[in-house]
Amino acid sequence: MIELILPVLLLFFFILVLFIVWRFKARKYISSGTVATAYDAWTEDKLLEKLWGEHIHLGFYAPGNKNIDFREAKVQFVHKLVKWSGLDQLPKGSRILDVGCGIGGSSRILAKHYGFNVTGITISPAQVKRARELTPSALNCNFQVMDALDLKFQDGTFDAVWSVEAGAHMNDKVKFADEMLRTLRPGGYLALADWNSRDLRAYPPSFIEKLVLKQLLEQWVHPNFISINEFSNILRTNKNSAGKVFSANWNSYTNPSWYDSIIEGIRRPLVILSLGPLAIVKSIREIPTILLMNWAFRKGLMEFGVYKCRG
Percent of the chain with pLDDT over 90: 78
Q: What is the distance between the alpha carbons of residues 270 and 150, in angstroms, rounded to a whole number?
A: 41
* Spatial contact of 127 and 106, defined as CB atoms under 8 Å apart: no
CA distance 141 to 102: 13
Instruction: Calculate the average pLDDT of the chain.
Output: 92
pLDDT band at 209 (very low <50, low <70, confident <90, very high): very high
How many Cα atoms within 13 Å fall on the side-chain side of residue 196?
24
pLDDT digits (tens, 9 = 90+) for 116-140: 999 999 999 999 999 999 999 999 9
Whole-angstrom distance, CA of residue 118 vs CA of residue 110: 7
Domain ranges of the chain: 27-310
Mean pLDDT of 18-23: 53
CATH of domain 27-310: 3.40.50.150
d(CA 32, CA 254): 27
Contact 181, 240 (CB under 8 A): yes
**Identity of the residue numbered 43:** T
Whether 102 and 123 have beta carbons less than 8 Å apart is answered as no
DSSP state of 204: -
More confident residue, 62 or 272: 62
162-179: pLDDT as tens digits: 999 999 999 999 999 999
The single-letter code of the amino acid at 176 is: F
The answer for residues whose C-beta is within 8 angstroms of residue 80's C-beta and 6 or more apart is: 60, 253
Q: How far is CA 100 from CA 120, 170, 222, in A?
A: 7, 11, 14
pLDDT computed for residue 4 by the predictor? 54
Cα separation of 238 and 104, whole Å?
Answer: 28
Q: Give yes or no for a contact between 149 and 123, defined as CB atoms under 8 angstroms apart.
A: no
Which tens digit of pLDDT belongs to each residue from 2-17? 455 656 555 555 555 5
